[in-house]
Amino acid sequence: MPRHYNIENVFDAALDRMIKLYEDGHRVIVSFSAGKDSGICLELCIIAATMTGRLPVEVIMRDEEIMYPGTFEYAERVAMRPEVKFYWIYANQPVVNIFNRQNPYFWVFDPALPEDKWVRTPPDFAQKIHEQNIQGLISEEKFPPAKGKNLYAVLGLRTDESMLRKMGLMSSKGYLTKGKNSYGTYYARPIYDWSDGDVWKAVKDNNWDYNKAYDTMHRLGISRHKLRIAPPTLSPAAIDGLMVASKAWPQWFDKVCERLPGVRTAAMFGRRSVEPIRKLGETWKECFYRTCISEAPDWIAQRSQKVVNYVIRNHSRHSTEEFPEVTKCPKCQMLSSWRNLSKIMYMGEPFSMKVKVDVLPYVEPEFFREGAGTWGGKPTW
């Protein structure tokens, strides 16, 4: 698909997008994470709402308990701004701890634990909700728009961070989603065409407040393009950040390690802690059966057996060759060799990100804790 350029800069284009939503009378809620992208969206919405007489800007954030120091301090500064009406929410929801093979979830502000075991406590003005799925934060029921108008959740999505994001936005043919989700909400992505440089230039030029954790991470070696603020246990990609965090905030890091099994091991040994290690003379097929079935926790072994049955059956439909050790089978897609299969299933693939949901359904919170409920949709954070 060819690119089309115009002479308007990305700042003015994003501001015009938000001005139009406010002028048209729609209800706009900024989905805030205290990261740089949602912070930019907030500042743009404040300018747009000021120009259109629509202050205060409504902002919502779900508290995840464990984020890099500086994150919630920034959120509290935002919540105190007179131009902002801030909804600080927590849900005791499960969050991924990818570094624990026994149980890949921990519960935010876990009611089953004494408060002194939490990494931190929520502020006094935080409100508890019951929805487990993050899409349930912003709904027509909770934030009804004016008659004949829409409810928009503003997301700090930028397509230069992911090709899948770019493809998704292209399918929408614009910064607004074509349809609303099951909660009656449309999405607006006003900074979809911004780069990292655009973000930091806007912060500097306008002297905007931002999460100071970025400064600490950058000083300790994290490149500008890899600076991310998210729950630090969502994926193995967070290991580099945890290694830096152990040096930057040692007291915070010790509390996280006490709260979450596997985090200290990941920071010490890197990706080797979350990937299978093949023994001398062992094939990848043997490694898979040993690490993902024989020596794995029961829930991982059951899921691995289900996947390998599917993979072998699917491979036999288009090839008479043995399922390959390392060289990828071009028709088996992501599950294309014993090595890939071993690396994908070693941590159990609880969220079905690389295996089809109809082959391997999500692991619901209820599986690990009775009474914890279900996701009520695709697990997202």
Give me the pLDDT at residue 334, please. 75
Residues 250, 318: one domain?
no
Residue 338 lies inside a defined structural domain of this protein: yes
CATH of residue 129's domain is: 3.40.50.620
Give me the pLDDT at residue 179, please. 87
pLDDT 10s digits, 157-181 = 887 766 565 566 666 667 888 888 8
Give me the pLDDT at residue 51, please. 96
Q: What is the mean pLDDT of residues 25-42?
A: 96
Residues 146, 268: one domain?
yes
Burial of 43 (0-12, 13-18, 19+ CB in 10 A): buried
Give me the pLDDT at residue 1, please. 46
Residues 300, 267: one domain?
no
Whole-number Å distance between alpha carbons of 361 and 375: 12
| pLDDT exceeds cutoff 90 at 366 | no
Give me the pLDDT at residue 113, please. 93
Give me the pLDDT at residue 172, please. 63
Residue 381 lies inside a defined structural domain of this protein: no
Residues 165, 307: one domain?
no
Give me the pLDDT at residue 93, please. 86
> Which runs of consecutive H residues, i.e. helices, occur in 53-174?
71-79, 163-172
The pTM score is: 0.86
Strands 94-96 and 84-90: unpaired
Residues 188, 335: one domain?
no
Give me the pLDDT at residue 165, please. 58
The DSSP secondary-structure symbol of 135 reads G
pLDDT 10s digits, 269-317 = 988 888 999 999 999 999 999 999 999 999 999 999 999 999 999 999 9
Residues 336, 254: one domain?
no
pLDDT 10s digits, 227-274 = 777 888 888 888 888 898 999 999 999 999 999 999 999 999 988 888
Residue 67 lies inside a defined structural domain of this protein: yes
Q: Residue 312 belongs to what domain range?
A: 284-345+348-368
pLDDT 10s digits, 334-348 = 788 999 999 999 998
Residue 373 lies inside a defined structural domain of this protein: no
Q: What is the mean pLDDT of residues 100-118?
A: 92
